[in-house]
Structure 1
Amino acid sequence: MAIKVFVTGGTGFVGANLVRLLIQKNYQVRVLARNYSNLNNLKNLDVDIVFGDLNDTNLAEKMRGYKILFHVAAYYSLYQIDKNQLYNSNVLGTRSILKAAKQANVERIIYTSSVAAIGVKETGEIVNENYQAPVDKIIGHYKKSKYWAEQEVYRAIKDGQDIVLLNPSTPIGPFDIKPTPTGEIILRFLRRKMPAYVNTGLNLIDVRDVAHGHILALEKGKTGQRYILGNKNLSLKALLDELSLLTGLEAPERTLPIWLPLTFAWMEEYVLSPLGKKPGIPLDGVRMSKKPMYYDSSKAINELNISYRPIRDSLQDAIDWFVNNGYI
């Protein structure tokens, strides 16, 4: 008999890649999707889709009979206007799904957090799972919501639930349907709409390696532990140079002083947004870029035995997916 797994967020970037891998490994998959979700990432897949929301009162019934829960779903936005939805989905939604999993006698839960919940050091140095930024130093409501969602997870663990936490860094690769902020960087580069860049850095990982990390966490992860899933620390300039090598397009050479996008983003969010104009650059996103977001994933390598594919290959696959799906 195939092991039955329940997945939230299966229509999204990480979730869709996870669902594909679970099917390949002969798991029986049920996906929770909202009534208005874009289901393109699940097209032609052998999955059972049930419709609902993380805060529904009947989640336990939808989950009953499933041994494993992958709670991947999260609301992502860096805009101030989405504050309430961030906490409702990411914090209250996590509390709700964990409660339902307990009622449904789910045996093991893999919770997809984010390096956002860990934060960064003021010095900009590389950090691992042992570091935790004070919550008042974590920038933006998205990152804070992921921190508070982790606190819900730790409470559930203390109450007896078997949960492993995963903290992916910045995934890239196929099925970036929305796309993600990093996908947007790739697209802006491909569309030649990135004449300059800010001095920042991030950690990249192939989204398929993130999915593989979820399976490894199920098999080898320790209850109550969190594992950073991240591959390569790169400056934004180095990322753009990689894209240039792959595409033959010229990488920008000019840097932007941080005050310029800060001023522009502040004007959009606090002046134009109340007038009905959707902001193009989130203020919190610019504020985050003031410090490089570098992480050490040695723990996942040593304890989960995860391996990573070359980032250049991942970038090429991301480019190909965007091109083949009409984004360019």
Structure 2
Amino acid sequence: MKVLVTGASGYLGGGICHALYREGHSIRAFVRRSSVLDNLPNEVETAYGDVTDLASLLEACNGCEVIIHSAALVEPWLPNPSEFITVNVGGLKNVIEAVKRTSSIQKLIYTSSFFALGPTDGYIADERQIHPGKFYCTEYEKSKAVADEIARQAAAEGLPVVLLYPGVLYGPGKLTTGNIVASMMLERFNGRLPGYIGYGNDKLSFSHIDDVAYAHVAAMHKGRVGERYLLTGENASFVDVFNLAANLTGTTPPSFHIPLWVLETYGWLSVFWARIIGKLPFISYPTVYVLKHQWAYSCEKAKAELGYKPRTLREGLAEVVSWLKSLDLIKY
């Protein structure tokens, strides 16, 4: 199949391209002129443009049979929050329009996020959950919830779209905002994050990058049009992650917990400083808002219908710390 991948230069987009290449598909990577393409297979064809520019999308779609729309602005905080709506909502609208106008397109695979379903405080959710919209921890979460409604409406109107919802992505490959687990391991093993984050009341669903990438390829063939699939994994807290990392590396786990109110204060100060120096902070107050809730999900539907096989957090984290050590970024 000829597959157009938006956001191909990103952490997940690059992983999807490699998965497609291994399966023998022809790939057209839709990227911006400023994108760094060193994470893509050499055989990938490139098409330059932006998801906010419909004309460039239409040109890139020509001759493609499937679009995998993984392009997104993934940050917990930005100085200009309207950028999230412009890219994550406006970009999806343009992709939907491009699908409608391109006769060769047979299916759209839309990469959403677990944030689009909303928090799960005290329970484990599945694909039937719709974001209640009562509050949003981050502007990113809000944009993905709005985009999710648009995608579901398009599906109801007959658009051949399959909706995918990855959990917290992690794994080797690229150090980006989207790979927060690797970033936290860097901070932890280099002494900049000496304590546990909170007291373990948070709960997140961790998804290995390779598992999610291959699930996108499976969704092309097995995904039922109009259906939603959670590509989540093991539900755990960051206390669990830090304990597991210590166990895997034979190092001593943290001896104290950093209360979330302390991190929230630090997050506000970091945002204040970021506005001055123009560099995005490692921890911002919206990140802490996320950690005040639980985001636990079941991926049984994806296992049954897509053949999704999420690895355990132990297996995945072992890869991450070994990868970081091989790059001489951490020592243990």
TM-score between both structures, scaled by the size of structure 1: 0.93
Specify the alignment match of 2:207 in structure 1. 205
Specify the alignment match of 1:55 in structure 2. 52
Matches within 5 A, 1:216-295: 216-269=218-271, 271-276=272-277, 278=279, 279-295=281-297
2-side partners of 1:75 and 1:82: how far apart?
12
Residue-by-residue CA offset, 1:31-67 (whole Å, 9 max, x unaligned): 001111121211x521001111002223112111100
RMSD: 1.8
1-side partners of 2:165 and 2:115: how far apart?
8
1-side partners of 2:142 and 2:28: how far apart?
29
Give the letter for the 2:170 counterpart: I
1:143 corresponds to 2:145: no
Specify the alignment match of 1:87 in structure 2. 85
Is the Cα contact below 8 Å between 1:41 and 1:177 reproduced in 2? no
Is the Cα contact below 8 Å between 1:124 and 1:291 reproduced in 2? no
1-side partners of 2:12 and 2:211: how far apart?
10
Is the Cα contact below 8 Å between 2:9 and 2:39 reproduced in 1? yes
219 and 13 in structure 1: CA distance in 2 versus 1, 3 angstrom threshold: same
1-side partners of 2:329 and 2:259: how far apart?
29
Residue-by-residue CA offset, 1:220-239 (whole Å, 9 max, x unaligned): 11111111111111121111
Shift of 1:196: 1.2
1:297 corresponds to 2:313: no
Q: Which runs of 5+ in 2 are unaligned?
A: none
277 and 264 in structure 1: CA distance in 2 versus 1, 3 angstrom threshold: farther
Secondary structure, in 3 states, of the residue corresponding to 1:58?
helix
1-side partners of 2:82 and 2:255: how far apart?
39
Specify the alignment match of 2:25 in structure 1. 27
2-side partners of 1:162 and 1:59: how far apart?
18
Is the Cα contact below 8 Å between 2:264 and 2:284 reproduced in 1? no
2-side partners of 1:188 and 1:274: how far apart?
22
Give the letter for the 1:275 counterpart: I
Shift of 1:274: 4.0
2-side partners of 1:159 and 1:58: how far apart?
25
Matches within 5 A, 1:117-196: 117-121=116-120, 123-179=121-177, 180-196=179-195
Residue-by-residue CA offset, 1:146-203 (whole Å, 9 max, x unaligned): 1111122123223321000000001211212325222211221232322112132211
Is the Cα contact below 8 Å between 1:138 and 1:144 reproduced in 2? yes
249 and 217 in structure 1: CA distance in 2 versus 1, 3 angstrom threshold: same
Give the letter for the 1:187 counterpart: L
2-side partners of 1:314 and 1:272: how far apart?
34
Is the Cα contact below 8 Å between 1:114 and 1:166 reproduced in 2? yes
1-side partners of 2:8 and 2:180: how far apart?
19
Is the Cα contact below 8 Å between 2:131 and 2:145 reproduced in 1? no
293 and 83 in structure 1: CA distance in 2 versus 1, 3 angstrom threshold: same
Give the letter for the 2:273 counterpart: L
1-side partners of 2:233 and 2:225: how far apart?
23
Secondary structure, in 3 states, of the residue corresponding to 2:218?
helix
Residue-by-residue CA offset, 1:191-222 (whole Å, 9 max, x unaligned): 23221121322111211110111122111111
2-side partners of 1:189 and 1:146: how far apart?
30
Shift of 1:80: 4.4
1-side partners of 2:42 and 2:275: how far apart?
42
1-side partners of 2:204 and 2:296: how far apart?
6
TM-score between both structures, scaled by the size of structure 2: 0.91
Is the Cα contact below 8 Å between 1:163 and 1:224 reproduced in 2? yes
Shift of 1:277: 5.8
Residue-by-residue CA offset, 1:242-284 (whole Å, 9 max, x unaligned): 1112222222131122211112212332x43443464342111
1-side partners of 2:191 and 2:274: how far apart?
26
Give the letter for the 2:183 counterpart: E
Secondary structure, in 3 states, of the residue corresponding to 2:188?
helix
Specify the alignment match of 2:95 in structure 1. 97
2-side partners of 1:265 and 1:320: how far apart?
29
1-side partners of 2:296 and 2:282: how far apart?
25
Give the letter for the 2:61 counterpart: M
